[in-house]
Chains A and B, each alone.
Chain A
Amino acid sequence: MFRAALQLSVSGARSLTRSRPQYTASVAARSYSHGKQETDEEFDARWVTYFSKPDIDAWELRKGMNTLIGYDLVPEPKILDAALRACRRLNDLASAIRILEAVKDKSGPHKEIYPYVLQELQPTLNELGIPTPEELGIDKA
């Protein structure tokens, strides 16, 4: 509750200085009154490194993704790119599609986030041959 309020206020302040959709990446899960706050870039870098591990295993992919979706933010396209490539290394197409679905769901009422993320990920999707949920028709029940 605390954390969400803090993130809301901090990301609100940051959003004034950024020119693209503001709701991706936010500060770290811990909110200390002392100590350094992790910046957005550090957060993103940490997660990109996590998913970029060459010998990542299926459990780590699931754990990472489920944890990431648990945060009060929509992951940056570069984190998702690393996650999709991890799916490729694990030969798991279904998880790749699921990740895209989760991003759309995570954006909630902010409908402009998902098209932006897809636009940023389009080269990767084409390269790896990952279909979007819309292409498969599973975006409608």
Chain B
Amino acid sequence: MLASRALVRGLQSGFWRRVSTSSAAWAAHTHDVDVVDCSVPQYNNRLDTPLPDVPFVRNLSAEQKKLKEKEKGSWTQLTKEEKLALYRLTHELSYAEMRQGSKEWMTVLGGIFIFLGFTGLLVWWQRVYVYGDVPHTLSEEWVAQQTQRMIDMRVNPVHGFSHKWDYEKKQWK
């Protein structure tokens, strides 16, 4: 998919569009084959390997073969489109195309947030429908009595709890 789009984008002229995007060329894309033979050298797009082991397009059509013949002569005779077609025969992606990123990260991040949100809904449902009541020792009345007891006991009077209670004015500081 990407390969064909890359090929089509690389060609400006209508005539030479055929040279690199013929069905014979697509059939020869070594990576489109269902069963990849790992025992023979394969084509790869790598920044650190400028010249891959095999050319990208192996089975050349008649036109492509003619172009290859013309390549044996002086390269000054080739048009710009022919030079581009020769490049695309040997290489699937240019360096710029290899380096370009994609917007996939937005999809991934969006998916993460969607699933986190869904999980939040599940947790909320669980809180409402599955959890029982909280212990009675967390009721307001109990906590008020507890707090009063802690103040009376002078819990942490130096820096902590009771330190914040003003015993004269009988209120929090």
**Interface of A toward B, CB cutoff 8 Å:** 61-62, 65-66, 69-70, 88, 91-95, 97-99, 101-102, 104-105, 128-131, 133, 135-141
Q: Is the Cβ of A98 less than 8 Å from the Cβ of B47?
A: no
Answer yes or no: B72 CB below 8 A from chain A CBs: yes
Q: Report yes or no: A98 in contact with B78, Cβ–Cβ below 8 A.
A: no
Q: Verify B51–A66 contact, CB threshold 8 A.
A: yes
Write out the residue numbers on chain A whose beta carbons fall within 8 Å of the beta carbon of B77: 129
Q: Are B48 and A98 neighbours in the complex by a CB distance under 8 Å?
A: no
**Can you name the residue of chain A whose Cβ is closest to the Cβ of B101?**
A141
Q: Which of B123-149 contact A (CB under 8 A)?
A: none
Please, which residue of chain B has its CB at the minimum distance from the CB of A95?
A: B51
**How far does the alpha carbon of A101 sit from the alpha carbon of B72 in the complex, in Å?**
22
Partner of A69, one of B49, B53, B91, B94: B49
Task: List residues of chain B with CB within 8 A of the CB of A128.
Answer: 75-76
Contact B49–A131 (Cβ < 8 Å): no
Instruction: Identify A61's interface contact among B51, B91, B96, CB under 8 A.
Output: B51
How many of chain B's residues have a CB under 8 angstroms from any CB in A? Answer: 31
The chain B residue with its CB closest to the CB of A136 is B84
Q: Which residue of A lies closest to B76 (CB)?
A: A129
- A94 close to B89 (CB less than 8 A): yes
**Contact, CB under 8 Å: B49 / A66:** yes
B100 within 8 A of A: yes
Bound Cα distance A133, B97 (Å): 12
Q: Check A101/B50 contact, CB under 8 A, given A93-B78, A130-B75, A136-B87.
A: yes
In this complex, the member of B52, B84, B95, B99 whose beta carbon has the largest number of chain A beta carbons within 10 angstroms is B95
9 new A-B contacts, CB < 8 A, other than A93-B83, A95-B90, A139-B96, are A62-B51, A91-B71, A98-B91, A101-B94, A101-B95, A102-B50, A104-B95, A105-B95, A138-B10
Cβ of B99 to closest chain A Cβ, rounded Å: 7
Chain B, residue nearest A96 (CB)? B75
Cβ of A139: which chain B residues have Cβ within 8 Å of it?
94-96
Q: Contacts of A65 on B, CB cut-off 8 Å?
A: 50-51
CA distance A94 to B10 in the complex (A): 14
Q: Does chain A have a CB within 8 A of B8?
A: no
B74 interface contact, C-beta 8 A: yes
Given the known inter-chain contacts A128-B75, A129-B74, A130-B75, please indicate yes or no for A94 contacting B94, CB distance below 8 A.
no
Inter-chain contact B80/A69, CB cutoff 8 Å: no
